[in-house]
Amino acid sequence: MSQDNHGYSCPELNHDGNQMEYTFSGAIAFAFLTSLLLVGTLLRARFTLLQNMLVPASLIGGTLVCIPVTGGTFLL
C-alpha cells in the first residue's frame, strides 16, 4: 500500500495500471442493494398496510432477500 499526499492509503495498481477488478464486485453489490430498495419502495407504495404500519422500504427489501438466503429459518 502506498500513501498519497493526504496520508490516505491507496491500493496498489496491477502491472497494467488498471484497478477495475477491485471495484467491480462493489458495483454489483451496490446495484443489487439499490434494486432491493426500489422493490421495497414499490411494494410499500402498493400495499397501504405497510404504509400504515410505518414499515421502511429497506426492511421490506431486506426481508425479501433474507427469506430465500436463510431458507426461512430466521422465522422460527
Which has the minimum average pLDDT: 14-18, 31-35, 43-47, 67-71? 14-18
Is the model's pLDDT at 22 over the cut of 90? no
Q: What is the mean pLDDT of residues 42-47?
A: 96
pLDDT at 68: 80
Give the integer Cα–Cα distance in Å for 31 and 24.
11
pLDDT at 24: 73
- Contact of 62 with 70, CB cutoff 8 Å: no
Is the model's pLDDT at 16 over the cut of 90? no
Q: What is the mean pLDDT of the chain?
A: 78
- Tracing cell 433474507 back to the chain, one arrives at 66
